[in-house]
Structure 1
Amino acid sequence: MVQVLVARVARVCRNDRGGSPRVLERRWTSFLKVRLQCALPGDTVFYFDVLEAVTPPCALHGRPAVLALFGTQPNSIPGSAVCAFYLADVERAFEGPFAEPRGGTGTWIPVPEDRVPHPRPGCCAGMGTATGVVTSGDFPDETLAFAKEHPLLHGAVAPAGGRPLFTRTGTRLTQLAVDAGAGPCW
């Protein structure tokens, strides 16, 4: 079986102090991750999955964004791409459906919303649907158990514009820089 690398971004609440003594004690309760997808669209989509570098947030078309440098899999044709991701799109992805493996097939499927407990796993104590929860240790055991078993969200964050800003084949680039003094990212 070939190991495939996939770029993901994670989120943890600043006020997360871990779960209850029964579930996720001294472990993050709000940890969630979602895939960043940088690919060339077409009849056969060509993915750049290996995350090499990310810029600090900057303005892209007047919206907060990050630029990320991706490479191809180590056993693939060498190549690199730069994709931009709007921070609002990343944040929205964390509100999407959770993922779970489909019975030993290696594929992941979305968890039906009616199986997701309330307050929503991964949310921050004292905020949003968890305004009545004082600390991360006060979440119901059902929410904490679900969070422990479902840290991955289904789907992926698409790049701004739906495609890479830059691609290069035949080489793997490893560093990315943005001259913020010259103006917006792009």
Structure 2
Amino acid sequence: MPFPSPPRSPSGPRRRTLLASAAGAALLVGCTSRSDDSDGGTSGSPSLAERARARAARDSEGLVGHYDAVLAVHPVLTELLGPLRAQALRHAGAFGGGSSGPSTGPATGSPTASGAPKAGKASPSASPSVTAPVPAHERDALAELAAAERALADRRAKALLDLPGELARLLASVAAAGAAHAYLLTEAAK
């Protein structure tokens, strides 16, 4: 004996309808909040994305200056630091930074004996003319570079949450590379 099917009279909205409505609302909110945030409040000021891109370029250029300072004091570390410095320089370029800025040091290769880098332990927001002494011991210099890479990677990971898609993906990729650099430098300092 077959059981009768229950009555199909909807007493309220169905689960699929609620889920579709919630997803649509989330997309609508996501789209409108992105466009409102991106114009920075006034039409004449740079957008959030432009400011973040410029800041990321300056941060990478400051990191290149830090590498240059360590290489000037410890040229024996060139084999280890050269590729990491080159990647930091490429990161600056990816964000629109140029290699002609005062904090980048030499555009390619290692620092020369006559051209001392202008940025020592540059924090990413520090002025390019501010220098800090590089530690005399290679391990300490590597540990400072690792700390700078780690701090910058952490700041970038936090900042990408507020950025539009493509720039957020680029910043996430560069933050991951910075975390890998920090790991390599920490291991080398042991």
Structure number with the higher strand fraction is 1
Question: Could you state the TM-score of these two structures normalised by the residue count of structure 1?
Answer: 0.19
Structure number with the higher helix fraction is 2
Question: Could you state the TM-score of these two structures normalised by the residue count of structure 2?
Answer: 0.19
**Which one has more relative contact order, counting CA pairs under 8 Å at least 6 apart?**
1
Larger Rg: 2
